[in-house]
C-alpha cells in the first residue's frame, strides 16, 4: 500500500506561539504513527509562492494522513497554527 504524505510550507508570524503548535502537533503526529521526513526553516526555494518552513510527514497510507489531519488532537494544534501563520498544505499519496 502506498504511503501518505503531508506536505506544507508555513510562514510563521509568532515564533513563541509556534512552539505551542509544535508540541501539540508533534504529539498528534506520534499518535498517528507519522514520521517527519523534512523540517527545514529555509529551503532552497526555486519556483512558486509556497515559501516558509518546509515540512514533509510520512504516514502509513493516505487514509492515515487524513485521519491525522482530521483528528481532534491535530484540529486543536491547527487552530493555533492558523492564528499565528499562513500555510500551504496538501495531503498526497505516494507511488
The model's pTM is: 0.94
Q: Taking Cα atoms as reference points, which of 88, 81, 82 lies closest to residue 6?
A: 88
Cα separation, 12 vs 53, whole angstroms: 8
pLDDT of residue 22 exceeding 90: yes
Question: In the predicted model, what is the mean pLDDT of the chain?
Answer: 96
Query: Is 7 in contact with 55 (CB distance < 8 Å)?
Result: yes
Region 36-63: mean pLDDT is: 95
The CATH classification number of 4-93 equals 3.30.70.100
Domain assignments of the chain as residue spans, ordered by start = 4-93
Query: Is 5 in contact with 59 (CB distance < 8 Å)?
Result: yes
Instruction: Kindly indicate the confidence band of residue 72, based on its pLDDT and cuts at 50, 70 and 90.
Output: very high
Cα separation, 49 vs 25, whole angstroms: 24
Amino acid at each position: 500500500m502506498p504511503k501518505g504524505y503531508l506536505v506544507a510550507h508555513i510562514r510563521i508570524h509568532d515564533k513563541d506561539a509556534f512552539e505551542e503548535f509544535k508540541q501539540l502537533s508533534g504529539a498528534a503526529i506520534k499518535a498517528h504513527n507519522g514520521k517527519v521526513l523534512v523540517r527545514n526553516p529555509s529551503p532552497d526555494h526555486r519556483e512558486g509562492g509556497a515559501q516558509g518552513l518546509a515540512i514533509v510527514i510520512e504516514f502509513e497510507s493516505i487514509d492515515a494522513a487524513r485521519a491525522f489531519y482530521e483528528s481532534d488532537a491535530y484540529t486543536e494544534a491547527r487552530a493555533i497554527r492558523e492564528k499565528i501563520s499562513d500555510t500551504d498544505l496538501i495531503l498526497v499519496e505516494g507511488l
